Amino acid sequence: MSDTNDNKQTEGIVAKRNIKDCVFTNMFGDKKYLMQMYKALHPEDDETTENELSIVTLENVLVNDLYNDLGFTVGEKLICLVEAQSTWTMNILIRVILYYAKTLKEYIDENSIDLYASTKASVPKPEFYVVYTGQRKSRPETINLSEEFFEGKLTGMDITVNMLYGEKDDIIGEYVTFTKIYNEQCKIHGRTEQAVRETIRICKDRNVLKEYLESREKEVIDMMVTLFDEEKIMKAHDKTVLEQGISQGIEQGIIALILDNLEDGKTEEVIISKLEKRFGLSKEDAEEYFGKYAN
């Protein structure tokens, strides 16, 4: 098949907005790569095995349900929550609290821990991380709830999130490099399948996530590419909602003008004339509105 035909077949195919998040959750949802992440987070631990890792990522069952990028336990000693983030926001501190509360509740239920017993419950130590794929600039090593939201004052609860910028030669660093290569290709080719394929090619050439991309190339391409531009769909939806709101607002204004002028004793002819001038209505439409709301 010619390149021309290939281009025609892929015309209109647009990369998903959350492409990088898809790769993040897909790759680290595999214990093989999750183990590499854990080793990057805890290089001092030579004893933990892959079998001791359990994925506890919150699933998006309902549209508005709470879900995170990655959660895993390390035996009974750790609960690790890891978020991938390309935009800088301190609100991640609040979100992490919600993720941890739900994850801990599920852990307690699954392990039949009685919180009303007289003996102290045993739960894993929590650790929170953000893999930040934007520009490092002067970003801190950690961010803290009390410092960011309560001027450093002691509160009834506090959390610290460790920021990871992919500056080390490990799988986290490779993932961050992957996102940067993808961003570069999008600048050249737009959010298209070509950008996706070029990203995979370049990453394999540079030995960036090479094993993962080679073993799952078709799956990764299918996952990263969609027939629908989700961003355009959302913009179209937002525009429709806005237009509906404006339309409803105009109608409320028409009703108010009719009722206010009737109360002031204005005649039908005067009110219809005002409707025409203020709302740009035809005489027929103004008469229809008057007949609808004047009685």
Alpha-carbon span 51 to 111, nearest angstrom = 18
* Residue 31 lies in domain: 11-228
Q: CB within 8 A of 160, min separation 6: which ones?
A: 128, 142, 143, 144, 145
Q: Is residue 266 part of a domain?
A: yes
The answer to whether residues 200 and 220 touch, using CB atoms and an 8 Å cutoff, is yes
Q: Is residue 3 part of a domain?
A: no
Same domain, 222 and 254: no
Alpha-carbon span 58 to 5, nearest angstrom = 42
Q: Domain boundary residue among 228, 258, 278?
A: 228
Same domain, 170 and 254: no
Q: Domain boundary residue among 228, 243, 273?
A: 228
Q: CB within 8 A of 93, min separation 6: which ones?
A: 143, 144, 145, 148, 149, 159, 161
With 0-12 / 13-18 / 19 or more C-beta atoms within 10 angstroms meaning exposed / middle / buried, residue 235 is exposed
Q: Domain boundary residue among 180, 198, 228?
A: 228
Domains held by the chain: number: 2
- Give residue-wise pLDDT tens across range 225-250: 753 344 455 555 555 655 566 667 78
Q: CB within 8 A of 10, min separation 6: which ones?
A: 192, 193, 194
- Give residue-wise pLDDT tens across range 136-167: 888 999 999 999 999 999 899 999 999 999 99
What's the confidence (pLDDT) of residue 11? 45
Q: What are phi and psi of 3, to 5 degrees?
A: -60, -35
Q: 2-16, 106-120, 138-152, 168-182: which range is least confident on average?
A: 2-16
